[in-house]
Amino acid sequence: MTHSIAFAALVALLATITPVVSAETLRYVPKKSELKYVFATADPVLRVRPGDIVETEAADQFENVKDPKSGWEPLRPNPQTGPFYVEGAEPGDALAVTILDLEVSSDVGVGGIFPGFGILTSSKYTPMLGAAAPARFWLYPIDKEKGTAEFRAKDSDFTVKIPLAPFLGCLGVAPADGEARTTLTPGEWGGNMDAPPVRKGTTVYLPVNVKGALLYLGDGHAAQGEGEIAGTAIEVGMKVKIQVDVIKGQKLAWPRMEDADYLMAVGSYRPLEDALRIAYTELIAWLHREYGLSELDAYELLSKVSVTDVAEVVDPNYTVIAKIPKKFLPPKTKGPR
């Protein structure tokens, strides 16, 4: 065979091979008119491929309004950036969203109390006789160099520094069955979980319910107490950097999370006990499927070493996170998630 014939044969062979397309870093800055207020099927603002990195921004709960005279109470809570269409994601797959970086972009955070919202006030779910807590708001000056926000009491001369621990209050996909769910609510699609583990270094696994998954994010939190008992964290704008991937054929019923130290399963429902039952049932299923433990062995082990985080108890559904430290896991026996 001559060199020219060999070269032609090589060219023909290479033409049959699908080229590997390298991942890209994409940037999207939402306009205010592009923010969303439901998790639903909607026209995507950006199309991404598995492995792509997205740099974007999240508006805070109050859409970055800091003027007391303008009125803070939002007509529509938790404005969302998105949705992002993920190529190749189909119902029955799982979406893997790794938080690469979060940076507080606000100089001042906001916290507040609203009538009918919060664990210690009357609401439509827990009606009580007597007046509801009045609306009141607190501003939190943020020192980015020192990594703190400052709480200033309104009724006494007291201040204290709170370490910044930024995370996304909302991360979710379009729900199943064509539903549109308010950005106030968490559920099987993720959504307003208000879960502090949704921070830098964590991978969040979400069920894919529609073609392209349609990923949303928002509700930046500079810091939050467990339970978010009054209804708000230190609400801030956020610069966000995530990497998106698709796990084909991995059907999830509820969101899951993983970081360097823990496996975590999420349950969002009312009453609180049912949210906890969902989270632990999902974590047991994870240990059974991928780590070879029987369901009863996993149940027994978790009873001895698990950690239960109550992320929030103020939204229409409460959110519980069931966690197991990775140091207690047996060797993995199956594939991803």
- Domains annotated on the chain, with CATH: 25-249 (2.60.120.580)
In angstroms, rounded to a whole number, what is the distance separating the alpha carbons of residues 116 and 134?
A: 9
CA angle 209-318-56, nearest 5°?
A: 55
The one-character DSSP state at 20 is P
Q: How far is CA 175 from the centre of its chain?
A: 14
Model confidence pLDDT, tens digit, residues 140-162 = 999 999 999 999 999 999 999 99
pLDDT given for residue 335 in this prediction: 63
Question: Which one has a higher pLDDT value, 64 or 151?
Answer: 151
Q: Which residues sit opposite 58 in a β-bridge?
A: 238
Q: In the sheet that 159-163 helps form, which strands lie side by side, from edge to edge?
A: 108-113, 136-143, 148-152, 159-163
H or E stretch at 301: helix 295-305
Task: Return the H-helix or E-strand segment holding 276.
Answer: helix 272-291
User: How confident is residue 5, by pLDDT bands cut at 50, 70 and 90?
Assistant: very low
Phi/psi at 33 (5° precision): -70, -15
Please tell me whether residue 124 adopts helix, strand or coil conformation.
coil
pTM for the full predicted model:
0.90
- The end-to-end CA distance of the chain, in Å, is 50
The 10s digit of each residue's pLDDT in 269-326 is: 999 999 999 999 999 999 999 999 999 999 999 999 999 999 999 999 999 999 999 9
The residues, any chain, with a CB within 8 Å of residue 335's CB and separated by 6 or more, are 290
Q: What pLDDT band is residue 28 in, cutting at 50, 70 and 90?
A: very high
108: pLDDT strictly greater than 80 = yes
Specify the range with the lowest mean pLDDT, choosing from 10-24, 26-40, 235-249, 279-293.
10-24
With DSSP H G I counted as helix, E B as strand and the rest as coil, what are the percentages for the chain, rounded to 5?
15, 35, 50
From 299, 303, 274, select the one nearest 288 (Cα to Cα): 299
Which structure tokens are listed for 180? 């549109």
Q: 312 — phi, psi (to 5°)? A: -155, 150
Tens digit of each residue's pLDDT (9 = 90 or more) over 220-239: 999 999 999 999 999 999 99
Q: Give the dihedral sign, CA 100/320/166/49.
A: positive
Residue with tokens 């939402």, as numbered in its chain:
30
**What pLDDT, on the 0 to 100 scale, is given for residue 18?**
38
Q: Report strand pairing: 238-247 vs 94-104.
A: antiparallel
User: What is residue 75's predicted lDDT score, i.e. its pLDDT?
Assistant: 53
